[in-house]
Every structure is written in C-alpha cells, then in structure tokens.
Amino acid sequence: MTTRHVTVGVDGSLIAVRALDRAADEAVLRGTALEIVYAVPDIDEAGPILASAALRARDRHPGLPVTTSAVQGGPVQALLRHGRDAALTVVGTRGLGGITGRLFGSVSLRLAAHSHTPLLVVRGDHAPARRGGVLLLGLESEADTDAAAYAFEEAERRGAGLRILRAWTYRHLTPEQPDPLPTHRLQDDLVRQARTEQAVPRFAVAGLREQHPGVGAETHAVRSGPAHALLEATRDADVVVIGAHRRPNRLGPQLGPVTHALLHRSHCPVLVVPTGQAAVTTG
C-alpha cells in the first residue's frame, strides 16, 4: 500500500453515495486507503452517516482500508485540508438545475478553483470506475503539461485508451468580424493553420508516449470552440482530464471557461489537475 490516500466528501445524499462508490473504486485502482470526510455544523450528527458510508465501502471492496473524519465547518475547507496530501479527492455534483444543484455545484467549483491536488468530480449516475475504456484529455495550451502527464498515468493505471483533443479556431474568423481575405487566400491560410494545429498535440505528448509505451494514445485537433468540442467528446468517454486554468480575481482564483463548462455539463466524470503541480500528480 502507498501512504497516500483517496479522500471523498459525503453528506448522506444520493449524489454523495455515488461519489463514495467511485472513490472506493479509485482507491482500489491505486492500491491505497480511502478517507471519508463529512463536514457538519454539529459533530454529533456525523456518526451515523460516516458509519454507513464506511460499511458500504467495505462491503463493495472487502479489505479496503477505510478511515472516517468528522469535521466541524464547511465542506470546501474540510476537503481542501484533508485532501492536501491525497492522491485524489472525490466529490459529487448535480451540476446546474435548481437551487440544490447550484449549491452542490458550488462545492465542486470552489474545490476545483483552490485544490493543489487532483480532483475528481462525479456527475450523475455515470458507470463506476473500471479497467479499460476511454480516457479523454483536453489539451488547451503548453500549460497543460501536468494534466497530460497525469492523463498518461491514469490511462496506464486503468489499461484505458487515451484520446487527446485540441480544439482551435481560425484567428481571422469571428462572429463580429467577417474575414476580409479573398476566398482562395482564406482557404490556403486555413489549410496551413490546420496543419500546424494538427501537429501541436502530437508534439506536446511525444515524450510521454516514450515514457508510457503501453498506452494507446491518439491525437485529434478539431476546428471548434474548446468547450463545445470537449463536451461533445465526453459523450463517449469514461473520464475527461483537464488542467485547472485559474485566473486571479479579487474574490480568489477563478476557473477558466472550459473547466467551468465541463464541471457543469460534462457527460462523464471530470478529473481536474492543477497546473504547475507535477510533484503531486502521481497516485
């Protein structure tokens, strides 16, 4: 067993049960322990929920080391604190839809904006973690080296295929400003840019292919908005991996639009990897 663990937040809701099941699966995949965290205003309320959660995890995976922690306060700070040394933190979300959905969504969004370790956000009733399948990597820029490295490690761990997707738009074509170039020059320029963009993901992961020769990785560059392209690709993926592009804000770090869109609307679980955190990505 490794000393690092998988941390999951629970609160007795159905979506938290789904997150618990997924976290237990992820702990088994990594050969590590599971820590179940429940943040409540009154510590005395936590006992039955934590006992039930631990029993469920042990029933699903006999022999899995399970610990529980009751924390007084809010779930975001509790999970940030308990997940700071974790191989992975897991939470559930309903995404958008109603007040409750927005409240649950806000926890995952705030964790994704602040976590220094990988975060798995379980959406809906997607299938449990398993070996094989397809892992999707959204490659936005050179800042995604940590996310790419983590995706290769995950694909290797799961025995999964890896699909690397980069979306691009033609720099002269915007809805507000029609392209002024003649048609033949426009087409030539599009072809040149398409060739360049097709080479970007191949070049970006060339070294990782050598480090992980057993991972079957395919690269795609599509002319589309990145959020739209990735959301469509999540329909056929088991997990999507994305780098946490954060922007400074007077209220704290804010997620980029692509990560934000995936956390709200992805068709599969979303694994958010902090950028600049290579030392903590290995499970």
Residue 262, token pair as written in the block: 């995936």
Which sign does the torsion angle of CA 130, 75, 6, 114 carry? positive
CATH at 150: 3.40.50.12370
Determine, yes or no, domain membership for 128.
no
Partner residues linked to 119 by β-bridges: 89, 272
Determine, yes or no, domain membership for 129.
no
pLDDT tens per residue across all 283 residues of the chain? 345 899 999 998 888 999 999 999 999 999 999 999 999 888 888 999 999 999 999 999 999 999 999 999 889 999 999 999 999 999 998 643 333 333 345 788 899 999 999 999 998 666 666 677 899 999 887 678 899 999 999 999 999 999 999 887 665 555 444 555 556 676 666 667 666 666 666 767 889 999 999 999 998 888 888 899 999 999 999 999 999 877 777 666 778 889 989 998 999 999 999 986 443 444 4
Residue 163 and residue 113 share a domain:
no
The helices-and-strands tally (H runs, E runs) of the chain is 9, 12
Residue 242 and residue 211 share a domain:
yes
Determine, yes or no, domain membership for 48.
yes
Examine the fold and report which residue of 77, 96, 123 is the final residue of a domain before the chain moves on.
123
* Cα–Cα distance for residue pair 134/109, rounded to 1 Å: 24
Residue 174 and residue 212 share a domain:
yes
Residue 11 and residue 117 share a domain:
yes
The confidence score (pLDDT) of residue 126 equals 63
Determine, yes or no, domain membership for 46.
yes
Residue 270 and residue 203 share a domain:
yes
Examine the fold and report which residue of 59, 89, 123 is the final residue of a domain before the chain moves on.
123
Determine, yes or no, domain membership for 56.
yes
Cβ neighbors of 175 (< 8 A, separation 6 or more) are none
Residue 113 and residue 19 share a domain:
yes
Residue 111, token pair as written in the block: 């964790």
Partner residues linked to 68 by β-bridges: 36
Which phi and psi angles does 6 have, rounded to 5°?
A: -105, 130
Rounded to two decimals, the pTM is: 0.84
- Nearest alpha-carbon partner for 118 in 235, 281, 269: 281
If one counts the domains in the chain, the total is 2
Residue 267 and residue 177 share a domain:
yes
Examine the fold and report which residue of 57, 90, 123 is the final residue of a domain before the chain moves on.
123
Determine, yes or no, domain membership for 244.
yes
Q: Which domain holds residue 204?
A: 134-280
CATH at 116: 3.40.50.620
